[in-house]
Amino acid sequence: MNIESFKVFCDLCDTGSFSRAAEASDITQSAVSQQIRNVEKQFGVPLVDRSSNIFTLTPEGLVYLSACRDILARYDSLGTRFRIARGALDGELHLASVISIALHNLPPVLKQFRKTHPGVEVKVNYRKAEEIYSAVRDGHADLGLVAYPKARPGMRAFTCWQERLVLVLPPGHPLSGKRPITLNQLQGQRFVALLPETPTRQHLDRFLKKAGVKVTYVAELDNIETVKAAVAAEQALSIVPESSIRQEIRQGTLTSRLIQADRMWRPMGAITRRPLPEKASLLEFLSLLAPRAKALLPLKTK
């Protein structure tokens, strides 16, 4: 077997014709048949259902076709991978991200990528979650970064970070303190929250409803940065990712408390088109995210 034989088999399956597959590779029709028989003999399985008058693959043939396409895709991407190995990347990489990830989780990855590949211009657009899914699906963004990433038709998703959700409150609030609070202590409290359609808000709404806890929403905003400002202005509470309030904690403008409950973590990650575009800068950027995904997926609330 060689690369050309894989291509011949794919051409045969795409056209359903031995003669057209032979013409595409500039070989004889008998050579096409012989290549298939050689594979069948080597593995001891039939690839083509010869009992049918219509060209049909056997289950083994479908497996072999998938393997051929995978091998050809990897072979075709070698030029891209060679460029990655040489560090000779250029062009533009378009990212779409929710504000909280762009400001608090993305910077270390961007810094490392830009240092290694200065020839690539990375453009980050701050968008809402649904806008990000649409941008990736339509090809306007190479990569999307969202909370609670989910695979959709034609798209794949994976988690890169898992971050603790904490209660944030203004200094001097009656619930201020060092010990973790229980969900019951939130009953009836004034809350600032993200908009109802955001994944983080939807998760928290389900979580509080399951616990039988009702809060009063005094403001609903479209990103965590404005939520934090509203917490101080309204003298209210909110639940946000821990990393998003580190600066405010240091400055003393906000304080936080752990919540004594399971599932107080927010998964954050990436979405891409499927199949993954063979774009050198995208593949390299994903390679920087992959170790984080592997390291952080097992995290559990203690």
pLDDT-derived band at 300, boundaries 50, 70, 90: very low
**Structural domain of residue 45, as residue ranges?**
3-76
Calculate Rg over the CA atoms of the chain.
26
Domain count, the chain: 3
Give 299's pLDDT tier (boundaries 50, 70, 90): very low
- Token pair listed for 103: 């400001």
Per-residue pLDDT band for 291 (boundaries 50, 70, 90) equals low
- Does 154 score more than 90 pLDDT? no
200 and 213: one domain? Answer: yes
**Which residues, other chains included, contact 118 with Cβ-Cβ below 8 Å and sequence gap of 6+?**
none
Domain presence at residue 207 = yes
pLDDT at 292 over 70: no
Instruction: Answer yes or no: are the C-beta atoms of 98 and 225 closer than 8 Å.
Output: no
Position 68 in a domain: yes
DSSP bridge partners of 257 = 167
Nearest to 148 by CA among 138, 161, 135: 161
Pair 65, 105 in one domain: no
54, 146: one domain: no
Coil, strand or helix at 96: strand
Residue 84 counted as domain residue? no
Are residues 186 and 68 located together in one domain of the fold? Answer: no
pLDDT tens column, 229-250: 999 999 999 999 998 999 999 9
49 shares its domain with 104: no
Contact yes or no for 67/8 (Cβ under 8 A): no
Q: Do 196 and 149 share a structural domain?
A: no
Q: Has residue 302 been placed in a domain?
A: no
Element (H, E) at 209: helix 199-211
Could you tell me if residue 288 is inside a domain?
A: yes
Q: Are strands 216-221 and 190-194 parallel, antiparallel or unpaired?
A: parallel
pLDDT higher than threshold 70 for residue 46: yes
pLDDT exceeds cutoff 90 at 171: yes
Average pLDDT over the chain reads 87
Last residue of a domain, one of 76, 99, 115: 76
DSSP class of 87 = T
Q: What is the largest CA-CA distance in the chain?
A: 85
Question: Using one digit for the tens of pLDDT, what is the confidence trace for 183-227?
Answer: 999 999 999 999 999 999 999 999 899 999 999 999 999 999 999
Q: Report whether the peptide linkage leading into residue 275 is cis, meaning its omega lies within 30 degrees of zero.
A: yes
Q: How far is CA 295 from CA 289, 292, 299, 300, in A?
A: 10, 5, 8, 12
Specify if 249 maps to a domain.
yes
Q: What percent of the chain has pLDDT over 90?
A: 56
139 and 180 assigned to the same domain: no
Tell whether the model's pLDDT for residue 302 goes beyond 80: no
Are 184 and 252 found together in one domain? yes
**26 domain residue, yes or no:** yes
In a domain, 81, yes or no: no
Are 93 and 71 in the same domain? no
Question: Between helices 280-296 and 107-116, what is the axis angle to 10°?
Answer: 140
- The CATH number covering residue 183 comes to 3.40.190.290
Whether 169 and 253 map to the same domain: the answer is yes
Residues 119 and 107 in one domain: yes
Asked which of 13, 43, 76 is the last residue of a domain, the reply is 76
Q: 14-23: per-residue pLDDT in tens?
A: 888 888 888 8
Among 73-82, 174-183, 186-195, 287-296, which is the least confidently predicted range? 287-296
Query: Both 290 and 210 in a single domain?
Result: no
Q: Mind giving me the DSSP string for 118-181?
A: TTEEEEEEE--HHHHHHHHHTTS-SEEEEES----TTEEEEEEEEEEEEEEE-TT-TT-SSSPB
**Mean pLDDT of all residues in 80-106:** 82
What CATH number is associated with residue 51? Answer: 1.10.10.10
